[in-house]
Homo-oligomer: A and B are copies of this chain.
Amino acid sequence: MTKTDQKQHVVIIGAGFAGVQVARGLGAAGVRATLLEQQNYHLFQPLLYQVATAALSPADIAEPVRRMLRRFASIEVLLGEVTGIDVALRRVALADGNSISYGILVLAAGATHAYFGHDEWAEFAPSLKSIADARRVRSRLLLSFEHAEMSDDQAERKRLMTFAVIGGGPSGVELAGAIAELARYTLAKDFHRIDAKSTTVLLLEAGPRILPAFPEELARYAQRKLESLGVTVRENCAVKDISQVSVMAGNDTLPIGVAIWAAGVEASSVAKMLGVATDKSGRVKVNGDLSVPGLPDVYALGDVALVLDTAGKPLPGLAQVAKQEGYYLGRSLVRKILDGAATPDFEFHNRGNAAIVGRQCAIFDFGRWRLKGMFAWLLWALVHIYLLADFQHRLLVAVQWLWQYATYDRGARLIVEPMRRARCDRAPGGK
């Protein structure tokens, strides 16, 4: 593999929205690069909550990285986990003991969940960052209903049919709405003994209101809609402890069947390997051209980077931000490598910030104008189908959404986690 020995060889860490976009830019210009990724697929994270709530299958929102980039002969894809970066020797160490040299390093390793010093909560309140997470949450939700169906104890049933979503940002709102709809519309007819419509979904937000990144008017609207779906929104309600059967929020201990964490993320631990300044979420501070101060030929972008907008405010961890940064950096590196030319700083263009509340209901904030309700929901669905990178997925997702829209049914209701925690408080038909 002599090609990569040349000084200008680019190594990209991460095949999320940012990394793939950089690779595409380089590939289109014939610039040689290696894309390192732990998984063999690119994950469409904004729809992960739909896998967790049985609306879609994992493969619908995941695409093999090799396939996305196969038309670019100059792009090499390698499956591997990064364990260290030596910025002096310009070398990335991998978990399998090998290392890879770079001329230019692009860090696009993304973000992971953050439990604010309470990593022990992760077991009881998983968050949604990977396909494995989504499968785990889906299995727990469905199993909780199964156990409720088998229980004769009223209080236990009520506990098993109470779900807590911790964190009132867009992810928490989308998840809470989807769980309420799963219970109310999809599962209601499946069970004969329990009434799935009586499910309680708690949305617990530590701050004074949900959706703090959205205008208050849209957030209030979303809250009303969530409540009409049966979601109980609790504001100013910081979570103090989580166990398998309860969440301590404020001064109350709430018995729950399943808790899900949507309260915080932090930059991938790969960011720390650079040994440079980060903010409190672990994000690497970068210059206007996405280069890392003090480290020549090292760039960071996407959720792993702290990029400021023109007003000096950090850009949020959104797919559109990562994609725009990736598009910019791909083109800017091509100019630098082929022409030795510099590029003006990155500038973000807001394409609209959305959150889906439920069936026929979403909110869209475009800055100057806003949208809510049925039309926002339709726009959201169209945009997301458009964004799904490849045609088969688009078609499959569209078919499933239309089907669910028409029937309230969700096809992917598989419990695939082992039933380790199965507990049953009644003897079905026996003594």
Contact = CB atoms under 8 A, between A and B. Distances in A.
A234 to B, nearest CB: 31
Contact of A190 (B62, B67, B409, B423): B67
A98 interface: yes
A112 interface: no
Contact of A101 (B95, B393, B423, B430): B430
Contact of A40 (B59, B62, B94, B414): B414
Interface in A378-405: 390-393, 395-396, 399-400, 403
A132 interface: yes
Contact of A41 (B66, B414, B428): B414
Interface in A393-431: 393, 395-396, 399-400, 403, 407, 409, 411-416, 419, 422-424, 426-431
Contact of A34 (B5, B396, B407, B429): B429
Interface stretch (A72-80, A271-279, A346-354): A72-80
Nearest to A188: B70
Given A91-B430, A392-B407, 6 more contacts: A1-B152, A57-B412, A79-B143, A80-B424, A96-B424, A98-B428
Interface of A: 1, 3-5, 9, 11, 34, 39-41, 57-60, 62-64, 66-67, 70, 73, 76, 78-81, 91, 94-102, 131-132, 142-143, 146, 149-150, 152, 189-193, 390-393, 395-396, 399-400, 403, 407, 409, 411-416, 419, 422-424, 426-431
